Structure formats: structure tokens, C-alpha cells
């Protein structure tokens, strides 16, 4: 009877890339070893340790700098097709500028990549997952219009050194979290809390930096290396709380403000920032006495540079909210991006909750998000580059909530494939427990548990690791499956 269940299951194509994702600062540790420079997370956790919930930091983290072979062994245990990791800018360029390349940093990523390739695991490399060299932050970081040149120089070093073997590059991970949480707010380094304009200056310079790196790859590296270069944007689903025209418009403003300001310049046919949101910021800016909109404009030349500059759309998707024009508004500073959007949001009570305040299990939300993007941006190639569920540090290995979440995600992915969405792969966040930014080690996202009190940072598979392995192997979800033992092997 198992066989008949399997026969009626919907399946993932054989060439669909199943993987897991991590990020350099969250796993590597070795924060000052072998010539690595200081980055904005090193600086923040050492100078203002109280901003981290458990007063911890990523100095050692999962110590992947020394444990990379074990990491690749875990990828083999899971049977992964691909692995998404990020490169630490300051590990390979300690000053941030390309004047000085750190050979030990290059060697580390070469070893990591080569170990994956030895076992046919496709590397997907993110150039920037939030760890800006501190020396560039001292000069304004993403708020400096020259940022795009510094990023282009760094990207060249990455493509030159790794592009012969890495065929999937992602420039930036999650512009919203970089710009809104780091510059407009105080939820991520560099905790600028520059509410009026921080988000928007960063947004403009970030998409231009992305485009310059993309064109560099396209012109100088793609012809010989033959890979693809894209960007990853966090796209949670924001649907209207009711069918009223006001709520529908509020949901559209929310989508434009949260991720449209990054996606529209790159993926829309007209380019530039999204229209309705731009009008709203211009209006509010005028009312507030500004002589120009706090949202900067693109020149025509910049618009052209950015428009169409991506081979694929990487989507980090975790959850959803219902959006209202009038209800559930949170207090926000004026002026700020939250005040500019000026909408309310909530998660219904019947959505399961995780260890993270922002993360609830929303029904079919990967499909809702990708279907919207497909219609809006003419069905580009998509990768889901992150998706995952948090449990508390005490939860241990029996992570049934995570199992439920991943199975629901698989159904939503299959709905995408049935619908003709051009979706090529899925990376689960995360391979293992890691430094969860402001939450330190309190919230855990790993398929593998990491013992952070053990100097060896021993990794142990959770139930969800066995379930994900079973899904990858069979290219389908079997709801009856339970691991017989918690002993993991390489098939």
C-alpha cells in the first residue's frame, strides 16, 4: 500500500536542485584568524554586546572555518544537490578594497568549494550576506554612492578566483534586511537607525552595485565561465485582510515598500522604483518639509544599467501577513519607511508559531509569493534560496514543528511547478544551527543541531534532517515516513 501512496504523489523533477543554505558570519567563526579583516558584525558585537539577546557573538559560531569537511559530510548525508554559502568580504579583502587580497581567505573558500565538487554538490555562492568590512562602513558603507565601485572590485576578485568552479553567484542576500534593518532601523549591524533616509539611500546604491557586478560577470566572465549571476530578495507574502479596495491598495503598497523597491528596478520592464510607493514617499516628504523626496531617483542611465540585470530571481521566503489599510498599525517614527507605507499587518491566530516572533506557518505562501512575482515580472528563473523554521535552543532533536513546516513548503513548491512557475531549486535554511543575528543562539534553524558548549561544535541530525533527506531521495513528500533510528549514514 506504500507503493500506491508513492505512485499518486506529485514529484519534483530530477534536475530540481535541492540544497541547504548558510552564511559566513553565522557559521565560520575564526573572526580574526589568518589575516581576516574586521567586519560590521565583529565591530558591533565587540563594542555593543548588549544588542545581542544572549550577549553572544559569532567569534567562533559553528566554527566551520575549521569544520568545513564535516559540513560537506553532512551535505553528503542529506544527499544534497547544491549548497548555498556566502563569502566573507573581509576574509578575502581585509581592508575592503581590492588592494590587498588575503591568500588564506582564498584558500579557505577553494577548499570548501573543492570538497563540495568532489561529491558532485553544486556550490551557490553569495557575495554579500551582511558582513561588510568595517573600514567601508567607516566611509558610510551603502550610504556612500561610491559603494557600487567597491563592490564591483570585490566581485571581480570573487569571479577571478572561484568562477572557474562556481556557476551560480548571488550578489546580495536580502536588500530589505540590509537597508531597512541595518540603515533605516537598529535590527541589524550597523544599527544606524537613520529612519528618514537610511533605507532609501542604501536601496539605490545597493541595486546599482548589484547591476555593476552583474554586468562585470556578464561581459568579462560569463563568456568563458558560463555561469549565472542573480540576486536574492526576501519576499514574504502580503495579501489584503479583506477584499476592500483600500485593503488591496494597502497590500500593494506594502509589497512595493518591503521588496518592490529592490525587485522593480531590476526585474520590471519599466525599471526604477515602483510608482505608487514612490508617489507616497514624495507626498509625505513634501508634507514634512523636505525639498525633495526622501526616496532618491534613478537617472535614466542608472535605470538602464539596472533594468534586466539578473539571470535569476532568488527568493528568501519564510512567512506571510494580512495587510489592512486601517487596523493593526504599529507605532513608527516619523519620518520612516514604516510610516511611509502606513499600513497595518497581522498573522491569523490559526497559523502555527515558531520560536521567532516574525515567523508563522502561512498556508501555501511560497506559491502566493512566486505566482505574484511570475505575473509581475514575466516569469524569470526562480530559486528559493532560503526557507526554514525556528525552534528554541532547548528543543533538541525531535523537531516536529520543523518537519510540518518543510512538508507544507514542499506542497507549495509543487503547486508552483504545476502552475508553470520557472522554479529551478530550493535551499532549506539552514544546514545547521548558527548565530541567529540579534537572537544569538536562542533561536535555532538547523536541520543539524550544533552543540555550542562543546569546543568541537559537534553536529547531530534532527528528525527534520531525515525527513528532508527522504524527500530529496524520493523527489516527493511521504507523510507516513518516520526515521527508524536517529543514526545518519551516507547512502
Q: Kindly write out the interface string for residues 8-37 of this chain, putting x where it contacts ligand PNW by CB under 6 A and - elsewhere.
A: ---------------x--x-----------
Q: What angle do CA 59, 233, 39 make, to 5 degrees?
A: 25
CB of 146 to ligand PNW, least distance (A): 26
Q: CB 392: neighbour CB atoms within 10 A?
A: 12
Instruction: Sort 238 into a burial class: Cβ within 10 Å, 0-12 / 13-18 / 19+.
Output: buried
- Applying CB under 6 A, does 39 fall inside the site for ligand PNW? no
Q: How many residues bind ligand PNW (CB under 6 A)?
A: 15
Cβ proximity to ligand PNW, 199 vs 316, nearer residue: 316
Any bridge partners for residue 39, and if so which? Answer: 133
Query: What single DSSP character describes residue 220?
Result: I
- Applying CB under 6 A, does 228 fall inside the site for ligand PNW? no
Q: Kindly write out the interface string for residues 361-390 of this chain, putting x where it contacts ligand PNW by CB under 6 A and - elsewhere.
A: -------------------------x----
CB of 7 to ligand PNW, least distance (A): 36
Phi first, then psi: give them for residue 364, nearest 5 degrees. Answer: 50, 35
Q: Tell me the three-class secondary structure of 117-172, residue by residue.
A: HHCCCEEEEEEECCCCEHHHHCCCHHHCCCHHHHHHHHHHHHHHHHCCCCCEEEEE
CB of 14 to ligand PNW, least distance (A): 28
- Applying CB under 6 A, does 63 fall inside the site for ligand PNW? no
- Applying CB under 6 A, does 86 fall inside the site for ligand PNW? no
- Applying CB under 6 A, does 173 fall inside the site for ligand PNW? yes
Any bridge partners for residue 128, and if so which? Answer: 172
Cβ proximity to ligand PNW, 221 vs 312, nearer residue: 312
**Pairing of the two strands 382-386 and 313-316:** parallel
CB of 378 to ligand PNW, least distance (A): 25
Q: How far is CA 167 from CA 83, 92, 226, 382, 444, in A?
A: 12, 19, 7, 15, 30
CB of 483 to ligand PNW, least distance (A): 25
- Applying CB under 6 A, does 131 fall inside the site for ligand PNW? no
**Which residues are identified as catalytic?**
174, 386
**What distance in Å separates the CA atoms of residue 107 and residue 287, rounded to the nearest whole number?**
54
CB of 244 to ligand PNW, least distance (A): 25
Cβ proximity to ligand PNW, 305 vs 360, nearer residue: 360
Span interacting with ligand PNW, options 117-125, 299-307, 316-324, 403-411, rule CB under 6 A:
316-324
Single residue of 126, 199, 234, 365 touching ligand PNW by CB under 6 A: 234
Span interacting with ligand PNW, options 75-83, 163-171, 312-320, 461-469, rule CB under 6 A:
312-320
Cβ proximity to ligand PNW, 221 vs 406, nearer residue: 406
Task: Annotate 244-253 with b (16+ C-beta within 10 A) or e (fewer).
Answer: eeebbebbbb
> Alpha-carbon Rg of the chain, whole angstroms?
22
Specify the 3-state DSSP secondary structure of 484: coil
Cβ proximity to ligand PNW, 176 vs 284, nearer residue: 176
**What distance in Å separates the CA atoms of residue 173 and residue 427, rounded to the nearest whole number?**
13
What are the strands, taking DSSP E only, across 300-429? 313-316, 320-324, 344-346, 382-386, 391-392, 423-429
Q: Site residues for ligand PNW, window 430-489 (CB under 6 A)?
A: 436, 445
Single residue of 319, 345, 387, 449 touching ligand PNW by CB under 6 A: 319
Cβ proximity to ligand PNW, 97 vs 442, nearer residue: 442
Any bridge partners for residue 57, and if so which? Answer: none
Q: What angle do CA 409, 412, 415 make, to 5 degrees?
A: 155
- Applying CB under 6 A, does 71 fall inside the site for ligand PNW? no
Cβ proximity to ligand PNW, 302 vs 386, nearer residue: 386
Chain residues that interact with ligand PNW, rule: CB under 6 A: 23, 26, 173-174, 177, 234, 236, 316, 318-319, 358, 386, 429, 436, 445
Amino acid at each position: 500500500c506504500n507503493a500506491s501512496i508513492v505512485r499518486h504523489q506529485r514529484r519534483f523533477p530530477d534536475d530540481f536542485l535541492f540544497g541547504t543554505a548558510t552564511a559566513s558570519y553565522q557559521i565560520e567563526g575564526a573572526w580574526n584568524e589568518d589575516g581576516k579583516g574586521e567586519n560590521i558584525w565583529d565591530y558591533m558585537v565587540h563594542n555593543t554586546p548588549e544588542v545581542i539577546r544572549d550577549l553572544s557573538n559569532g567569534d567562533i559560531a559553528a566554527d566551520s572555518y575549521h569544520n568545513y569537511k564535516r559540513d560537506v559530510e553532512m551535505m553528503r548525508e542529506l544527499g544534497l544537490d547544491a549548497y548555498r554559502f556566502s563569502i566573507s568580504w573581509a576574509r578575502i579583502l581585509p581592508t575592503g578594497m581590492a588592494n590587498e587580497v588575503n591568500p588564506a581567505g582564498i584558500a579557505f573558500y577553494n577548499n570548501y568549494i573543492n570538497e563540495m565538487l568532489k561529491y558532485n554538490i553544486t556550490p551557490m555562492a553569495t557575495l554579500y550576506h551582511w558582513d561588510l568590512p568595517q573600514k567601508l562602513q567607516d566611509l558610510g558603507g551603502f550610504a556612500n554612492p561610491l559603494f557600487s565601485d567597491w563592490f564591483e572590485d570585490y566581485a571581480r576578485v570573487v569571479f577571478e578566483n572561484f568562477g572557474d568552479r562556481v556557476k551560480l553567484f548571488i550578489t546580495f542576500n536580502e536588500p530589505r534586511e540590509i537597508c531597512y534593518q541595518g540603515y533605516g532601523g537598529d535590527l541589524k549591524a550597523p544599527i544606524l537607525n537613520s529612519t528618514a533616509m537610511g533605507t532609501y539611500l542604501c536601496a539605490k546604491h545597493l541595486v546599482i552595485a548589484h547591476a555593476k557586478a552583474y554586468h562585470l560577470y556578464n561581459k568579462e566572465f560569463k563568456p568563458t565561465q558560463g555561469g549565472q549571476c542573480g540576486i536574492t530578495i526576501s519576499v514574504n507574502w502580503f495579501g489584503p485582510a479583506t477584499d476592500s479596495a483600500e485593503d488591496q491598495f494597502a497590500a500593494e503598497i506594502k509589497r512595493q515598500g518591503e521588496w518592490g523597491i529592490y525587485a522593480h528596478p531590476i526585474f520590471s520592464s519599466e525599471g526604477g522604483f515602483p510608482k505608487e510607493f514612490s508617489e507616497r514617499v514624495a507626498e509625505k516628504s513634501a508634507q514634512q518639509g523636505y525639498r525633495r523626496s526622501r526616496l532618491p531617483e534613478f537617472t535614466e542611465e542608472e535605470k538602464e544599467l539596472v533594468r534586466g540585470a539578473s539571470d535569476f530571481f532568488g527568493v528568501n521566503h519564510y512567512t506571510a501577513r494580512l495587510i489592512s489599510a486601517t487596523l493593526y498599525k504599529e507605532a513608527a517614527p516619523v519620518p520612516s519607511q514604516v510610516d511611509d507605507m502606513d499600513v497595518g499587518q497581522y498573522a491569523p491566530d490559526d497559523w502555527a508559531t515558531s520560536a521567532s516572533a516574525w515567523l508563522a506557518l502561512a498556508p501555501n505562501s511560497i506559491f502566493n509569493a512566486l505566482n505574484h512575482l511570475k505575473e509581475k515580472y514575466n516569469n524569470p528563473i526562480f530559486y528559493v534560496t532560503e526557507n526554514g523554521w525556528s525552534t528554541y535552543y532547548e528543543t533538541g532533536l525531535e523537531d516536529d514543528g520543523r518537519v510540518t513546516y518543510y512538508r507544507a513548503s514542499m506542497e507549495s513548491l509543487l503547486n508552483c511547478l504545476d502552475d508553470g512557475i520557472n522554479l529551478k531549486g530550493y535551499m532549506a535554511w539552514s544546514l545547521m544551527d548558527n548565530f541567529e543575528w540579534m537572537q544569538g543562539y536562542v533561536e535555532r534553524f538547523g536541520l543539524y543541531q550544533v552543540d555550542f558548549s562543546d569546543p568541537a561544535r559537534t553536529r547531530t541530525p534532527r528528525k527534520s534532517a531525515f525527513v528532508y533527506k527522504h524527500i530529496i531521495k524520493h523527489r516527493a513528500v511521504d507523510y507516513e515516513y518516520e526515521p527508524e533510528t536517529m543514526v545518519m549514514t551516507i547512502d
